[in-house]
């Protein structure tokens, strides 16, 4: 019963405090580039990138929160712009279900980014990305329970809730922007830093028929890099700080990549690592990169104040990235991977 009430409290907070709630997020933030920073659009080692992410959280408490994304991005005008530059376009779809389906959210966005080479070889670039999204959210009132509906014999759906949900379905346009620097360090290491600003027009988001509830902007500062160790193996590190209203998230960690074969043109790499989300969770990570695919699996070991209910169990997350490379001349070998 305590677990059910805890989940219900979280769901009601998300549904009826939209200006304070936090956007959906991923433990493997590096595997969902278009939700982290629009400036990542088109910036990868290849011609076409398809990415998918699936997250299931709080299954140990009650019905899980489900978040999933699909995205595709690619470069354009490669034979027209300077060979040191990259221009990318992309599309993103995101689905989020909370509170056993009491609140569902759908996002469809398009983005573009231009990365300008800062030197004659294009080893250092600075990119600007823009993203526009259509957002639709829906509340299923049949899956909500309110204090006024709890009588002497427990919950009674026939009792009035005395809550006025004027508009159970809402939709609006949203806009995001980001900057990204990426550079080569020495001959075989790289470093990147970025900042993104989401909801910069702060659209109205409310189910209560009011026009003064504005969606809080979200900004993220992130960075990372990689460097070789023990021959062809590599260490990858990354971190980010995100803030939306009073909600903050600080994550840092890394992974060690073991090269499993000696085929430089078609390497197979096994990754093992972990990230830490301060005051929230420790996130072990396993990954495998082979052919044109990269698959990652992580799990949140909850360390927050919810751990008495969750028993340290947070959420499982799976990511799959497919990159097609038809033209080797367009292959950037040291683009960010984590």
pTM for this one?
0.86
Taking residue 177's Cβ as centre, other Cβ atoms within 10 Å add up to 18
CA distance 220 to 34: 13
Q: Which pLDDT band, with edges at 50, 70 and 90, does 232 fall under?
A: confident
Which has more pLDDT, 143 or 207? Answer: 207
Looking at residue 182, what is its pLDDT?
95
pLDDT score for 194: 98
Q: Where are the domains of the chain?
A: 2-330
Given the structure tokens 């550079």, which residue do they identify? 183
Q: Which residue has the higher pLDDT, 28 or 334?
A: 28
- Highest-scoring range by mean pLDDT, 53-67, 83-97, 141-155: 83-97
Tens of pLDDT along 143-159?
776 766 677 677 766 66
Query: pLDDT grade, residue 187 (50/70/90)?
Result: confident
3-state SS assignment for residue 148: helix
Q: Which one has a higher pLDDT value, 199 or 213?
A: 199
Residue 306: band (very low, low, confident or very high) from pLDDT cuts 50, 70, 90: low
Please count the other Cβ atoms lying within 10 Å of the Cβ belonging to residue 84.
16
Burial code of 100-138, b = ≥16 C-beta within 10 A, e = fewer?
A: bebbbbebebbbbbbbbbeeeebbbbebebbbebebebb
The set of residues, in sequence order, having a beta carbon less than 8 Å from that of 86 and lying 6+ positions away, is: 42, 43, 75, 113, 114, 115, 125, 127, 332
Q: What is the mean pLDDT of the chain?
A: 85
The H or E element spanning position 198 is strand 189-198
At residue 266 the predicted structure's pLDDT band, cuts being 50, 70 and 90, is: confident
Answer whether CATH 3.40.50.720 is correct for domain 2-330: no
């Amino acid at each position: 019963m305590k677990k059910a009430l805890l989940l219900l409290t979280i769901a009601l907070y998300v549904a009826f405090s939209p200006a304070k709630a936090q956007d959906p997020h991923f433990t493997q933030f590096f595997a969902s580039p278009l939700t982290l920073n629009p400036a990542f659009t088109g910036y990868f080692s290849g011609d076409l990138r398809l990415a998918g992410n699936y997250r299931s959280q709080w299954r140990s408490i009650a019905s899980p929160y489900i978040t999933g994304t699909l995205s595709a991005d690619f470069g354009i005008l490669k034979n027209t712009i300077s060979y040191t530059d990259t221009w990318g376009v992309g599309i993103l779809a995101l689905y989020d279900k909370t509170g056993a389906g009491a609140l569902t959210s759908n996002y469809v966005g398009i983005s573009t980014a231009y990365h300008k080479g800062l030197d004659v070889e294009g080893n250092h670039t600075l990119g600007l990305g823009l993203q526009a999204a259509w957002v639709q959210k829906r509340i299923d009132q049949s899956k909500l329970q309110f204090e006024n509906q709890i009588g002497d014999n427990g919950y009674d759906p026939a009792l009035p809730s005395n809550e006025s949900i004027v508009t159970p379905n809402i939709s609006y346009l949203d806009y995001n922007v980001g900057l990204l620097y990426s550079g080569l360090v020495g001959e075989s290491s790289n470093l990147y830093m970025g900042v993104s600003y989401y909801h910069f027009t702060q659209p109205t988001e409310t189910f209560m028929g009011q026009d003064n509830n504005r969606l809080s902007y979200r900004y993220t500062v992130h960075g990372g890099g990689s460097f070789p160790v023990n021959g062809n193996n590599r260490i990858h590190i990354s971190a980010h700080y995100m803030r939306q209203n009073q909600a903050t998230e600080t994550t840092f960690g890394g992974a060690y990549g073991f090269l499993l074969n000696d085929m430089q043109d078609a390497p197979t790499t096994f990754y093992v690592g972990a990230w830490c989300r301060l005051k929230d969770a420790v996130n072990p990570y396993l990954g495998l990169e082979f052919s044109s695919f990269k698959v990652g699996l992580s799990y949140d070991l909850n360390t927050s104040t919810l751990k008495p209910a969750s028993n340290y169990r947070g959420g499982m997350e799976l990511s799959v990235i497919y990159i097609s490379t038809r033209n080797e001349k367009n292959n950037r070998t040291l683009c960010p991977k984590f």
